[in-house]
Chain A
Amino acid sequence: MPGFTRVVPAIPPHQATIAPVSAYRHTEGALWHTTSRRVLVNPPEGATFDLDGVAGLVWEALDEPVTIDDLAADLAAVFDRPVEEVGPEVARVVAELVAAGAASPA
């Protein structure tokens, strides 16, 4: 699935564990804009980073509180992929966004 969770440049590596049943959303005060192809995110603390592909869709979905399970199910349906394949990728993106300070538990 090319570009599924490509993050440009890479968000710092993380070891955080996140709960798939907990809801997450944008961190209060995060700023973001979009081009035709990517999302540029500026967390309240830290540098601006870019998301493209489905990582950008994950970001846009986090505008409202959403669980990783629900988000994975939605994206699996949109891309016609097994949720078992999509779920870990969505979890990884959300965890990286949390580590970057751009997303937080709702």
Chain B
Amino acid sequence: MDRFEGADAEVRAALVVVAGHGLPGDEHRPPPAAPLDDAQWRALVRLVQIERLLGLLDRAVAAGALPATDEQRADAEEAAAQGLRQVLFLERRLLAAAAALDGAGVPFLVLKGAAVARLDEAHPSLRHYNDVDLLVRGDDVGRAVAALAAIGYGRDLPERRPGYDRRFAKEVSLADDLRTEVDLHRVLALGAFGLAAGPAALWSSTDRLEVGGTALAALDAEGRFAHACVNAMLGDERPRLVALRDVAVISTAHRLRPGRLGSLLPAGRGAAVAGAACAAVTALLGPGTVGAEAAAYAGSVPPSRWERAALRAYRAHGGSNTLELLSGTMALAGMDRLRYLQALVVPGSAYRAARREAGRPREWTTGVREVLSRRGKSGG
């Protein structure tokens, strides 16, 4: 199914112009010949909001890359301003979280939107985002959660079983009373790809960014690229345009080192995710929108049998949440595999109770239903 089902051809064309604004290859992204009519414009703005591309809509319209009426220009600018108010609020929360973690002696790296905005996009105001994402080491997750609790953040769910967060979890999600989310990541991906790659390589080379005069550490360019590929191809049922744009922007803004890419997305254990992401970017935004080094790496390694099997577990490739989690067993062996399975199948009572209290569906009932539903669809 198409994410943009229902949008007409001109709205789609406009959306692609917005997503690709400032990237090479404008000739492959022809805009509509005239301003969209009111209904089309509303549809475009709605999609742009969902895809977190408001900053780009404003700039594309202002630059004349997308035809628009005066009213639409003002509308796009106001929408971008609203989005940036949220970004400013989140940057304050990022600085507060950074101070709390520093105070507790917990090293961390800034991930995703906040890092891409300041390290990869031509202008930090182009990349909007909705939460704060940080990477911490597994051994530090407990102290990080405690440090953030001191400034008002609480976990959405308790740990599945003792030791799960430190060893197996992709992330721990926290929120404050205003529902501002801070996600503490341990690895970049859920399931097989996250557990296979592990966290060590993420920390071996880093960049620095500045927010309001405060220097913060972030993943290096290859790490941000790997994360963008994972978000694009594994995170959602369909790739988000903002994630695909991140893949394009990061790979064209830097000369990515093949050796470093190989340590983050190893051949046979993750390179296929880069291959899929680069192919999706090229299909959407046109030739030349993936940097040469990234394209060469992605094209140099054919997907392994392990990768093909793992990819099928992810929602973007026809899998389900349950299969994503279960795919982790492909990357584990011995007691680790048993402990992981135990945590998935028999989580602790506090975890189960918290899920019930939060009104979340029963994991395995829902999981079995999801799997059967997918099988039914693929069979039909």
Per-residue contact bits, chain B 193-205, to A (CB 8 Å; 1 contact, 0 not): 0000000000000
- Cα–Cα distance between A34 and B84 once the two chains are bound (Å): 8
A50 in the interface (beta carbon within 8 A)? yes
- Asked if A35 and B88 sit within 8 Å, CB to CB, the answer is no
A36 in the interface (beta carbon within 8 A)? yes
B125 in the interface (beta carbon within 8 A)? yes
- Cα–Cα distance between A31 and B88 once the two chains are bound (Å): 7
Give the Cβ gap from A35 to chain B, nearest Cβ, in Å.
4
- Asked if A35 and B77 sit within 8 Å, CB to CB, the answer is yes
From known contacts A36-B59, A36-B77, A37-B77, infer whether A30 and B84 are also in contact, taking CB-CB under 8 Å. Answer: no
A40 in the interface (beta carbon within 8 A)? yes
B contact residues, range: 20 to 34
B307 in the interface (beta carbon within 8 A)? no
- Contact pick for A33, options B61, B62, B77, B88, CB 8 Å: B88
- Asked if B125 and A42 sit within 8 Å, CB to CB, the answer is no
- Asked if A35 and B211 sit within 8 Å, CB to CB, the answer is no
Give the Cβ gap from B266 to chain A, nearest Cβ, in Å.
37
From known contacts A29-B212, A42-B92, infer whether A35 and B125 are also in contact, taking CB-CB under 8 Å. Answer: yes
- Pick 20 A–B contacts, CB within 8 A, sort by A: A29-B214, A31-B88, A32-B88, A33-B84, A33-B88, A33-B124, A33-B125, A34-B123, A35-B55, A35-B58, A35-B80, A35-B81, A36-B59, A36-B62, A36-B80, A37-B62, A37-B77, A40-B81, A42-B91, A44-B212
Q: Which residues, 79 to 103 on B, are CB-close (under 8 Å) to A?
A: 80-81, 84-85, 87-89, 91-92, 95
Give the Cβ gap from B61 to chain A, nearest Cβ, in Å.
8
A28 in the interface (beta carbon within 8 A)? yes
The A-B contact count (CB < 8 A) is: 52
From known contacts A36-B58, A36-B62, infer whether A50 and B91 are also in contact, taking CB-CB under 8 Å. Answer: no
B213 in the interface (beta carbon within 8 A)? yes
- Cα–Cα distance between A57 and B125 once the two chains are bound (Å): 16
From known contacts A38-B81, A50-B81, infer whether A33 and B212 are also in contact, taking CB-CB under 8 Å. Answer: no
Per-residue contact bits, chain A 66-91, to B (CB 8 Å; 1 contact, 0 not): 00000000000000000000000000
- Cα–Cα distance between A38 and B77 once the two chains are bound (Å): 9
A48 in the interface (beta carbon within 8 A)? yes
* B-side contacts of A34, CB under 8 Å: 84, 123, 125
* A-side contacts of B212, CB under 8 Å: 28-31, 44
* A-side contacts of B81, CB under 8 Å: 35, 38, 40, 50
- Asked if B84 and A40 sit within 8 Å, CB to CB, the answer is yes
* B-side contacts of A35, CB under 8 Å: 55, 58, 77, 80-81, 84, 125
- Cα–Cα distance between A32 and B77 once the two chains are bound (Å): 16
Give the Cβ gap from A89 to chain B, nearest Cβ, in Å.
23
Chain A residue at minimal CB-CB distance from B123:
A34
Q: Which residues, 206 to 233 on B, are CB-close (under 8 Å) to A?
A: 211-214
Interface centre among B55, B84, B87 (most CB of A within 10 A): B84
Chain A residue at minimal CB-CB distance from B55:
A35
Interface centre among B62, B88, B89, B95 (most CB of A within 10 A): B88
Across the A-B interface, give the 6 residue pairs with the lowest CB-CB distance, nearest first: A36-B62, A33-B125, A33-B84, A42-B88, A35-B80, A31-B212
- Contact pick for A31, options B58, B76, B91, B123, CB 8 Å: B91
- Asked if A33 and B87 sit within 8 Å, CB to CB, the answer is yes
- Cα–Cα distance between A48 and B91 once the two chains are bound (Å): 12
- Asked if A29 and B62 sit within 8 Å, CB to CB, the answer is no
Chain A residue at minimal CB-CB distance from B211:
A31
* B-side contacts of A40, CB under 8 Å: 81, 84-85, 88
* A-side contacts of B125, CB under 8 Å: 33-35
* A-side contacts of B76, CB under 8 Å: 36
* B-side contacts of A29, CB under 8 Å: 95, 212-214
- Cα–Cα distance between A78 and B88 once the two chains are bound (Å): 30
Give the Cβ gap from B17 to chain A, nearest Cβ, in Å.
15
Chain B residue at minimal CB-CB distance from A36:
B62
Give the Cβ gap from B55 to chain A, nearest Cβ, in Å.
8
Chain B residue at minimal CB-CB distance from A40:
B84
Chain B residue at minimal CB-CB distance from A37:
B77
Other A-B pairs, 15, CB within 8 Å; known A40-B81, A40-B85? A28-B213, A29-B95, A29-B212, A31-B91, A33-B124, A33-B125, A35-B55, A35-B80, A35-B81, A35-B84, A35-B125, A36-B58, A36-B62, A37-B62, A42-B91
Q: Which residues, 48 to 92 on B, are CB-close (under 8 Å) to A?
A: 55, 58-59, 61-62, 76-77, 80-81, 84-85, 87-89, 91-92
- Asked if A31 and B92 sit within 8 Å, CB to CB, the answer is yes
